[in-house]
């Protein structure tokens, strides 16, 4: 083939693929609204704040962004809103070791940001992030452990290296807090004992479950 022929192949071939790409883009745009909930005014304001504070400069969302801080795609599924709002306003107050700075976010802005994050968590992402397939931690299956798992305490607390880091590590909590009554009151209403606590209250735990849970916590020395 002459050079002119190869050149034409390059130019028209590229145009051909670009046209297909544009066609797929149109098709995608048509389908997107069905794959995500409606965008309310609050969600939109939250998204604007997301840009204003350059959250993407530390975090990923839908897996894209920076790799300095956790991905936020599903954060509202794992953490209650009240906690997230408190954290956003002043991270170090909630968790003294937090690497996230206080950015001057107001409680009202925090609400909007959480609404935005909640919208993202409901997008149909073809199953991403995947569930861990190798998770095989064996905790002793006592009644207390079952309650601990049922109420998702491990999304915020770590025991022996497993679990989240939003709240204090509970591996040795009983040495710090040996009093069962303290735990019972704290679980029912954390802020009554710890001013401004960011831990959610658990009025929904039954009395029996509460006893089992606290028995379990007291074994953690």
Site residues (CB under 6 A) for ligand HEC? 53-55, 57-59, 68-70, 72, 75, 79-80, 83-84, 87-88, 91, 94, 98-101, 103, 105, 113, 148, 151-153, 155-157, 166-168, 170, 173, 176-177, 183, 187, 190, 194, 197-200, 202, 213, 217
171 binds other proteins (CB under 8 A): no
Q: At its nearest, how many Å lie between other proteins and the CB of residue 180?
A: 28
CA dist 130 and 176 (Å) reads 36
Which element (helix H / strand E) includes 60?
strand 60-61
Cα angle 129, 135, 136 (rounded to 5 degrees) comes to 170
What does 56 bind: ligand HEC, other proteins, ligand HEM, none (CB cut-off 5 to 8 Å by kind)?
other proteins
Q: At its nearest, how many Å lie between other proteins and the CB of residue 93?
A: 15
- 197-216: which residues touch other proteins (CB under 8 A)? none
Backbone angles phi, psi at 208, to 5 degrees: -65, -45
Q: How far apart are the first and last CA of the chain?
A: 79
What is the helix, strand, coil percentage profile of the chain, to 5? 55, 5, 40
Indicate the residue whose CB is closest to ligand HEM. Answer: 67
Nearest to ligand HEM of 65, 164 (CB atom): 65
Whether residue 129 is preceded by a cis peptide bond, meaning omega within 30 degrees of 0, is: yes
68 binds other proteins (CB under 8 A): yes
18 binds other proteins (CB under 8 A): yes
CA dist 179 and 174 (Å) reads 8
**Site residues (CB under 6 A) for ligand HEM?**
63-64, 66-68
- 22-51: which residues touch other proteins (CB under 8 A)? 24-25, 27-29, 31-32, 35-36, 39, 43-44, 47-48, 50-51
Residue 212, Cβ neighbours under 10 Å: how many? Answer: 19
What does 83 bind: ligand HEM, other proteins, ligand HEC, none (CB cut-off 5 to 8 Å by kind)?
ligand HEC
- For residue 218, give the nearest of 151, 144, 140, 147 by alpha carbon: 144
């Amino acid at each position: 083939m002459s050079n002119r022929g190869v050149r034409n192949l390059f130019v028209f071939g590229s145009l051909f693929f670009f046209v297909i790409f544009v066609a797929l883009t149109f098709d995608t745009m048509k389908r997107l609204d069905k794959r995500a909930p409606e965008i309310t005014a609050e969600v939109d304001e939250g998204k604007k704040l997301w840009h204003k504070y350059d959250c993407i400069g530390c975090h990923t969302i839908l897996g894209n962004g920076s790799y300095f801080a956790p991905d936020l795609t599903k954060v509202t599924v794992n953490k209650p809103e009240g906690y997230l709002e408190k954290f956003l306003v002043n991270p170090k107050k909630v968790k003294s070791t937090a690497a996230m700075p206080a950015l001057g976010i107001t409680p009202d802005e925090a609400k909007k940001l959480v609404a935005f994050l909640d919208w993202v968590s409901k997008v149909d992402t073809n199953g991403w992030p995947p569930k861990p397939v190798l998770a095989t931690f064996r905790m002793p299956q006592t009644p207390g452990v079952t309650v601990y798992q049922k109420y998702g305490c491990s999304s915020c607390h770590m025991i022996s290296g497993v679990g989240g880091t939003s709240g204090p590590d509970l591996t040795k909590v009983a040495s710090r807090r040996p009093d069962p009554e303290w735990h019972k009151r704290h679980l029912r209403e954390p802020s009554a004992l710890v001013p401004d606590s960011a831990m959610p209250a658990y009025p929904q735990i039954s009395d029996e479950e509460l006893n089992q849970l606290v028995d379990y916590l007291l074994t953690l020395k």
